[in-house]
Chains A and B, each alone.
Chain A
Amino acid sequence: MTSLAVNDHQAETAAPAKVIQPVWVRIVHWTNAFAMILMIMSGWQIYNASPLFGFTFSRSITLGGWLGGALLWHFAAMWLLMVNGLTYLALGFATGRFRKKLLPITPGGVIADTKAALTFKLSHDDLSKYNSVQKLLYAGIITVGVVIVLSGLSMWKPVQLHWLVALFGGYDFARYVHFTCMALIVVFLVIHVALALLVPKSLRAMLIGR
């Protein structure tokens, strides 16, 4: 046990390149996942107070118990989501991670990698390099994350931030934008978790770095 730990340590100091997911990425990633889930579950309860479509969410999967409680959760978790998200964006740009890991995304690359993935020929040997499908999904979900926060802010402060609500086509339209982003995140989450479970070593890297 002791020697193993020492070996691990030596490996880490001797070859830092082996770290696939740096610690800051792991921290903001899991904080984000936690905040997102709080936002989505409380958001469903808020939606139920005035549904946009002909359905409501079962109370067993919502957070807050009633509208007032859900709003307290939503407007508390939003700070975690926003501060964490801004940290991720700032570090992502500053460290060059976004440029190195998420670009370039080409239609050809995405098509080729999708075909390879569907025929189980996609290589996962080098986890430090995202394939085109990963790049597209991650760049896409980061964009959706930015839009859901901005549309949410616009509905929270439609007078103080009236230019923002105008950008989203007015208050009523902003509600649909916000809901659509939520739906995209849920779809992403299902695919994302399924893929992580299919390639467990990627999950291991997101948990312990290597």
Chain B
Amino acid sequence: MGRLRKLLIPGVDKKLLLRDAVKTMPELTRRRFITAGTSLGALTLLTGCDVVDSSSAEELLKKVSKFNDAVQAWMFNPDALAPTFPESMITKPFPFNAYYDLDDAPEIAGADWKLEVRGLVDNKKSWTLDELYKLPQVKQVTRHICVEGWSAIGSWTGTPLRDFLKLVGADTRANYVWFQCADKDGYNSPLDMRSALHPQTQMTFKFADQILPRAYGFPMKIRVPTKLGFKNPKYVLSMEVTNDYKGGYWEDQGYNSFSGS
């Protein structure tokens, strides 16, 4: 994973990167990372008691996690919709959540930003925000569920991703749509194609009927109500339609890759 990360963000010092990430983590996680040494991808999963050789336990756990990916893909019903809620149930204020403080959230100038479209698509043209805003939009009020356990109901408006994929002539038989984001440390995340084509999966431009604020991912986030929150990338820079599993920021550190809900 380290090699992969270096390829993705050349010139980034891994130790510095770790120190930054650690600074913004909750206290418990931070201590964990410090004791884990400087390998960001290392999963030292056992605490105090070393009853199992931790590296072989790790290997086994990773295998089970892959098995869980397969089970979740099998359980995934492309027609099952995430429950929707009345606007009165929207959580206020909707939490900001990231591995950094709000002050460190990307500040993107909408006029300069362009969505890059790469990979197995017919039309690789980049899209300005104005062009994207002209696409038909729909609103959803759904529950955002965080891997940490909390959840919050929000209102997101934007273009169904499947409509956009059709528009750019994406090969929808490909395995993944892979998103690269502007978050510091280069956030990225793969989305399996069946989830990408789910009717509620959305390129989001508005939160609570207002232009998406910086805190929630301006200029564009991908809202996937059938996935945990970390599979809903914010500050998206590019999407790539690909057959390759390219890993992701949290996925590489051990969060289950499918993480469907």
What is the interface of chain A, defined by CB distance below 8 A to chain B?
A: 46-50, 56, 59-60, 62-69, 71-73, 75-76, 79, 156-160, 162, 171-172, 175
Contact = CB atoms under 8 A, between A and B. Distances in A.
Contact of A72 (B76, B226, B254): B254
A104 to B, nearest CB: 39
B43 interface: yes
Contact of B143 (A47, A49, A64, A171): A171
Contact of A71 (B31, B36, B147, B225): B147
B152 to A, nearest CB: 10
B253 to A, nearest CB: 6
A159 B150 contact: no
B76 to A, nearest CB: 7
Contacts of A175: 149
A149 to B, nearest CB: 15
Which range holds the interface residue count of chain B?
Answer: 35 or more
A49 B31 CA distance: 13
B61 A76 contact: yes
Contact of B64 (A65, A66, A72): A72
B151 A172 contact: yes
B151 A76 contact: no
B148 A50 contact: yes
Contact of A68 (B146, B150, B255): B255
A60 B82 CA distance: 38
A38 to B, nearest CB: 11
Given A66-B32, A69-B61, 20 more contacts: A46-B149, A49-B26, A49-B149, A50-B146, A50-B149, A59-B47, A60-B48, A65-B44, A68-B255, A71-B254, A71-B256, A72-B64, A75-B68, A79-B64, A157-B260, A159-B81, A159-B83, A159-B260, A160-B75, A171-B151
B46 A65 contact: yes
B108 interface: no
A193 B29 CA distance: 33
Contact of A158 (B29, B72, B143, B147): B143
A67 B76 CA distance: 24
A158 to B, nearest CB: 5
A12 to B, nearest CB: 33
Contacts of A68: 43, 250, 253-255
